[in-house]
C-alpha cells in the first residue's frame, strides 16, 4: 500500500541523519579512533611545526576578521570573529583557524567597525567557562554549537583596525542595506520599545530589544512574532505573488516570476540575518514554489524533511538551536493539527471564521511546541490564544506598512506619514502585549522537565490527538502508558528531592546570594539589588529553584523567616539544617574572643566585612570557610591564603564557581 511513509523519502533519510549528528555531538569516539586520529595529528604537527609551540597565551597579538556586523550590548560591543594569525613578540606570524567572541569597550571607534574589518588585538583570548551556578544557562555549550570556544574583553587601547572592508562583497552589501534600513527606522520611530520591535519584526535585528519587551512577549506567548519566520516569509511571498501576478498567468513568463520571487525571498532572508526560522521558511517556500512550477505533487511533510535535511547538511549544529527545533515542530504541528482543530467547529460568520482559523493555528502550534518550551524555558503562556489573535493580524499589517516605509521613506511627507503610522501601530501592539502580560495567571513558571519527560509529553499529547481523530484504542494505550511513566517519573523525582538538604553559595558578580534548602523549602539571603533584578534572578538563581522543585522560598537581605514545617532553624546569623551548623558573618568580629569557641560545619563570609581571618580561629571551630561572591577577588585570594595557613579549609566563590554542599 502506498503510504505517507513511502511518500516522504526525505523523512526516511532525515531520521538516521539526525541520529548520526546527535551521536557525533554527544557520544565520544572510541579509544581506537581517537588514538589513530591523534597519531596522524602528531605526524602532521611535527612535519609542519617542528620547533613551534602553539599554546594560545604564548602569542602577544592576534589578527582577527569580523564575520558579522557587531552587536551593541548594554556595556560593550560584541563582535564575532575568525582568528587568522597569532603574532609573537618578535613579530613573527603563525596562521591559525578558529572563531572567537570579542567584547569591545563602547566608544566612537568601536561603533565604526563593520563586517569584514580586520583588527589587531592584544591576545587575551580565554576559553569560555562552564556555568557558574547550578541550573544556569550553559553559555559555553551554546557557543560551542557555533564553533566558538574563546572570548576576550578589550579596552579601546587593546586593539586597532588593521584593514577595512575585507569581507565578501555580496554580504557586505546585504549588511549595509540592513544598516541603512535600521537608520530609516531610527529616524521615523521615536519610541525606543516600538523601534526595538520594528527592528526585530521587519529586519530580524534583536539587539535593541530590552529585557522588559522580551519578557512581556515571551510571557504572553507572542515571542515568535519577534523572530522573522514562516509568518513573515509567507507574507512576503503573498505580496510578491500579487505584484507578479501577470507573469504567473502566462506559462512562458512564469519562470521569470518564479526567479524573481525566489530571489526576493532569499534577499529578505539574508537581510534579516539568516536565523534558523527564516532559513527553514525560505528553503521550504523555495521547494514548494519549484515543485509547483514543474507541476510535481508536493507532499508538505516531505518538503519539511527535505528542508531540514538540506540545512543540516550545511550546518549540522543547527539541530541544537532551539529556534530550529521550535520552527520545524511548529510547522509540522500546524500542517497536521490545524485542519483537524479547525473542523471541530463550523463558524458561518466571516469574521468569526477568521478568528477561529487563527485560534486553530495557535492551538496547533502550541500543542506541537510546548514540550520544547517547557524543556528550555520552564514556562507556559496561558493567554497564547488571545495574544495570537492580536499579533498575527498586527504582524501582517506591520510588515506591509514597514515595507511601504522602506520603499517610500525618501519622499518627505509620504515617508513621514507612513513612519508615523508604523510607530503608532507598534506602540499599540506593545501596549496590548504588556496589558496581557500584567494580567494574573498569564504565565505559569517553574516547570522543569528533562529530555525523556519532553518525549513522554509528546507521546501523551499526540497519542490523545490521534485517538480523538482516528478512534483507535492503540493510540489511547500509548497515551496512557506515557501518562503512567510520566507520573511515576515525577513521583520518584519528588520523593528524591524531598529528602535532599543542601547549602548553595551562588556566584553572582559582586553580589551575595546564599541558599539553605530542605526538600521543597528554602531560605534565600541576597543583596537587595539582586532581589530586585528579575532578569539576574532568572539567569543565575531561579532555574536551579525550578530544577529542584522548590515550592516555598523565604527571601530577604538579612535573617529572613524560616519556612514552617522545615528542618531549618535559625538564631541570629546562625542556622541549623539537619546535622549541619552554618554561620554567616557580615560584620567585623569583636577583638575579645569568647571563652569557648562555637563549632560550625560551614562559616560564610558575606558582604565583604572588615575581618581578620586569623581572628576567626579564636571565635569558631570551623570545618569549611566559604567566601561569597560579594567579596572582591583580590581580598578573597588574600583571605584564602591566610585561612589555609591557619589550617582552615577555604572555598572562595569569587575565584571559582558556586559552592554546593549536599548536607
Query: Which structural domain, as residue segments, surrounds residue 369?
Result: 321-382
Arithmetic mean of pLDDT, 129-134: 93
Full-model pTM? 0.82
Query: Strands, DSSP E only, in 37-91?
Result: 61-66, 71-72, 76-87
Sequence-distant (6+) residues with CB within 8 A of 495 are none
| Residue 46, pLDDT above cutoff 50 | no
> Residue 324 and residue 450: Cα distance in Å, rounded?
19
CB burial readout 567-579, b (16+ within 10 A) else e: bbebeebebbbee
Residues 609 and 574 in one domain: yes
> Which pLDDT does position 29 carry in this prediction?
53
| 194 pLDDT above the threshold of 60 | yes
Are 342 and 371 found together in one domain? yes
Q: Where are the beta strands (DSSP E) in 529-658?
A: 552-556, 568-571, 574-577, 580-585, 598-605, 620-627, 649-652
For 415-470, the DSSP string reads HHHHHHHHHHHHHHHHHHHHHHHHSTTSEEE-----HHHHHHHHHHHHHHHHHHHH
User: Which residues in 245-282 are b (16+ Cβ under 10 Å) and which e?
Assistant: eebbeeeeeeeebbeebbebbbebbbbbbbbbbbbbbb
Q: What is the CA radius of gyration of the chain?
A: 29
Q: What is the CATH number of the domain that holds 510?
A: 3.60.15.10
Indicate whether 276 pLDDT > 90: no
Task: Characterize the bridge pairing of strands 598-605 and 148-154.
Answer: unpaired
The verdict on 214 and 265 lying in the same domain is: yes
Burial of 356 (0-12, 13-18, 19+ CB in 10 A): middle
Residue 57 confidence (pLDDT): 53
Q: Comparing 39 with 113, which gets the higher pLDDT?
A: 113
For 556, other C-beta atoms within 10 Å of its C-beta total 13
Q: How confident is the model at residue 468 (pLDDT cuts 50, 70, 90)?
A: confident
Q: Is 579 found in the same domain as 617?
A: yes
The pLDDT of residue 588 is: 76
pLDDT at 102: 94
Q: Which residue has the higher pLDDT, 251 or 30?
A: 251
pLDDT at 277: 72
Judgement on whether residues 266 and 212 belong to the same structural domain of the protein: yes
Compute the Cα dihedral for 357, 360, 362, 368 and give only its sign. negative
- Residue 39's pLDDT is 58
The residues near 353 (Cβ < 8 Å, ≥ 6 apart) are 347
What is the band of 50 on the pLDDT scale with cuts at 50, 70, 90? Answer: very low
Binning pLDDT at 50, 70 and 90, where does residue 49 land? very low
Residue where a domain terminates, one of 445, 461, 480: 445
> Coil, helix or strand for 657?
coil
Supply the pLDDT for residue 296: 61
Interatomic CA distance for residues 101 and 114, integer angstroms: 15
Evaluate if residue 483 carries a pLDDT over 70. Answer: yes
Whether 392 and 270 map to the same domain: the answer is yes
Instruction: Quick: pLDDT tens for 607-623.
Output: 878 787 777 877 888 88
> Residue 181 — very low, low, confident or very high, per pLDDT cuts 50/70/90?
very high
Asked if pLDDT for residue 199 goes beyond 80, the answer is yes
**pLDDT band of 423, cuts 50, 70, 90:** very high
How many separate domains does the chain show? 6
In this prediction, residue 40 carries a pLDDT of 57
End residue of a domain, out of 167, 183, 214 = 167
Q: Is 282 found in the same domain as 425?
A: yes
Read off the C-alpha cell for 113: 567597525
Bridge-partner residues for 524, per DSSP?
Answer: 515, 555
Same-domain check for residues 84 and 190: no
Distance CA 346, CA 2 (A): 32
Residues 82, 13 share a domain: no
Q: Which of 282-286, 403-407, 516-520 has the lowest mean pLDDT?
A: 282-286
pLDDT of 196 reads 93
Q: How many residues does the chain have?
A: 663
Q: How far apart are CA 347 and CA 357, in angstroms?
A: 10
> In which band, very low, low, confident or very high, does the pLDDT at 148 lie, cut at 50, 70 and 90?
very high
Tell me the HSE value of 158 on the side-chain side, using a 13 A CA sphere: 16
| Cα–Cα distance, 51 to 384 (Å, whole number) | 63
Cβ neighbours of residue 340 closer than 8 Å, sequence gap 6 or more: 465, 469
Question: Where among 349, 382, 415 does a domain terminate?
Answer: 382
Q: Are residues 196 and 69 in the same domain?
A: no
**pLDDT tens digits for 114-128?**
999 999 999 888 999
Query: Rounded CA gap, 65 and 63, in Å?
Result: 7
| Residue keyed to cell 577595512 | 164
Half-sphere CA count of 356, side-chain side, radius 13 A: 15
* Averaged pLDDT, 312-339: 88
Q: What pLDDT score was predicted for residue 45?
A: 47
Is 33 in the same domain as 74?
Answer: no
Average pLDDT over the chain, rounded to whole?
86
For residue 56, what pLDDT band results from cuts at 50, 70 and 90? Answer: low
- Clarify whether residues 188 and 145 are in a common domain: no
Amino acid at each position: 500500500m502506498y503510504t505517507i511513509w513511502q511518500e516522504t523519502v526525505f523523512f526516511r533519510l532525515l531520521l538516521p541523519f539526525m541520529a548520526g549528528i546527535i551521536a557525533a555531538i554527544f557520544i565520544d569516539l572510541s579509544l581506537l579512533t581517537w588514538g589513530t586520529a591523534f597519531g596522524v595529528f602528531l605526524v602532521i604537527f611535527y612535519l609542519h611545526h617542528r620547533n613551534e609551540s602553539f599554546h594560545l597565551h604564548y602569542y602577544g597579538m592576534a589578527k582577527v576578521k569580523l564575520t558579522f556586523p557587531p552587536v551593541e550590548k548594554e556595556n560593550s560591543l560584541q563582535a564575532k570573529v575568525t582568528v587568522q594569525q597569532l603574532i609573537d613578540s618578535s613579530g613573527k606570524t603563525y596562521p591559525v583557524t578558529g572563531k572567537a567572541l570579542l567584547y569591545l569597550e563602547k566608544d566612537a571607534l568601536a561603533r565604526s567597525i563593520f563586517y569584514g574589518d580586520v583588527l589587531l588585538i592584544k591576545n587575551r583570548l580565554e576559553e569560555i567557562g562552564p556555568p557558574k551556578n547550578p541550573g544556569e544557562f550553559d553559555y559555553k555549550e551554546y557557543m560551542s554549537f557555533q564553533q566558538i570556544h574563546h572570548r576576550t574583553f578589550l579596552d579601546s587601547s587593546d586593539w586597532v583596525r588593521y584593514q577595512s572592508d575585507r569581507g565578501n562583497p555580496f554580504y557586505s552589501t546585504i549588511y549595509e542595506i540592513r544598516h541603512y534600513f535600521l537608520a530609516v527606522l531610527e529616524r521615523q520611530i521615536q519610541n525606543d520599545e516600538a523601534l526595538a520591535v520594528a527592528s526585530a519584526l521587519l529586519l530580524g535585528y534583536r539587539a535593541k530589544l530590552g529585557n522588559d519587551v522580551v519578557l512581556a512577549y515571551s510571557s504572553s506567548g507572542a515571542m515568535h512574532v519577534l523572530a522573522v519566520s514562516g509568518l513573515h516569509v509567507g507574507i512576503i511571498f503573498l505580496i510578491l505573488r500579487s505584484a507578479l501576478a501577470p507573469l504567473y498567468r502566462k506559462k512562458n513568463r512564469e519562470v521569470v516570476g518564479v526567479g524573481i520571487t525566489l530571489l526576493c525571498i532569499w534577499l529578505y532572508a539574508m537581510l534579516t540575518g539568516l536565523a534558523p526560522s527564516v532559513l527553514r521558511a525560505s528553503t521550504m517556500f523555495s521547494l514548494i514554489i519549484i515543485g509547483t512550477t514543474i507541476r510535481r505533487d508536493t507532499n508538505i511533510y516531505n518538503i519539511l524533511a527535505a528542508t531540514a535535511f538540506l540545512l543540516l547538511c550545511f550546518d549540522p549544529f543547527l539541530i541544537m538551536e532551539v529556534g530550529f527545533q521550535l520552527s520545524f515542530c511548529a510547522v509540522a504541528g500546524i500542517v497536521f493539527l490545524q485542519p483537524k482543530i479547525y473542523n471541530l467547529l463550523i463558524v458561518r460568520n466571516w469574521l468569526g471564521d477568521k478568528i477561529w482559523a487563527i485560534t486553530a493555528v495557535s492551538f496547533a502550534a502550541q500543542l506541537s511546541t510546548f514540550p520544547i518550551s517547557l524543556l528550555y524555558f520552564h514556562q507556559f503562556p496561558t493567554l497564547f490564544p488571545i495574544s495570537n489573535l492580536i499579533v498575527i493580524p498586527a504582524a501582517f499589517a506591520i510588515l506591509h506598512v514597514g515595507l511601504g516605509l522602506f520603499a517610500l521613506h525618501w519622499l518627505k511627507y509620504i515617508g513621514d506619514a507612513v513612519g508615523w503610522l508604523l510607530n503608532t501601530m507598534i506602540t499599540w501592539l506593545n501596549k496590548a502585549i504588556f496589558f496581557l502580560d500584567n494580567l494574573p495567571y498569564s504565565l505559569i513558571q517553574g516547570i522543569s522537565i528533562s529530555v525523556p519527560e519532553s518525549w513522554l509529553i509528546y507521546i501523551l499529547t499526540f497519542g490523545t490527538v490521534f485517538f480523538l481523530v482516528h478512534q483507535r484504542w492503540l493510540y489511547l494505550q500509548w497515551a496512557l502508558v506515557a501518562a503512567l511513566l510520566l507520573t511515576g517519573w515525577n513521583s520518584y523525582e519528588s520523593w528524591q528531592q524531598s529528602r535532599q538538604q543542601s547549602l548553595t553559595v551562588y556566584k553572582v558578580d559582586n553580589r551575595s546570594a546564599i541558599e539553605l534548602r530542605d526538600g521543597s523549602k528554602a531560605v534565600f539571603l541576597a543583596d537587595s539589588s539582586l532581589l530586585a533584578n528579575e532578569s539576574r534572578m532568572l539567569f543565575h538563581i531561579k532555574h536551579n529553584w525550578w530544577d529542584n522543585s522548590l515550592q516555598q522560598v523565604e527571601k530577604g537581605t538579612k535573617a529572613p523567616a524560616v519556612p514552617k514545617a522545615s528542618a531549618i532553624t535559625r538564631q541570629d546569623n546562625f542556622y541549623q539544617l539537619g546535622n549541619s551548623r552554618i554561620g554567616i558573618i557580615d560584620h567585623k568580629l569583636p577583638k575579645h574572643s569568647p571563652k569557648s569557641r562555637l563549632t560550625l560545619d560551614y562559616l560564610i563570609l558575606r558582604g565583604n566585612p572588615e575581618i581578620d581571618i586569623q581572628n576567626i580561629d579564636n571565635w569558631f571551630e570551623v570545618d569549611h570557610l566559604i567566601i561569597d561572591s560579594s567579596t572582591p577577588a583580590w581580598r578573597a585570594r588574600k583571605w584564602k591564603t591566610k585561612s589555609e595557613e591557619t589550617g582552615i579549609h577555604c572555598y572562595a566563590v569569587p575565584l571559582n564557581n558556586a559552592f554546593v554542599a549536599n548536607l
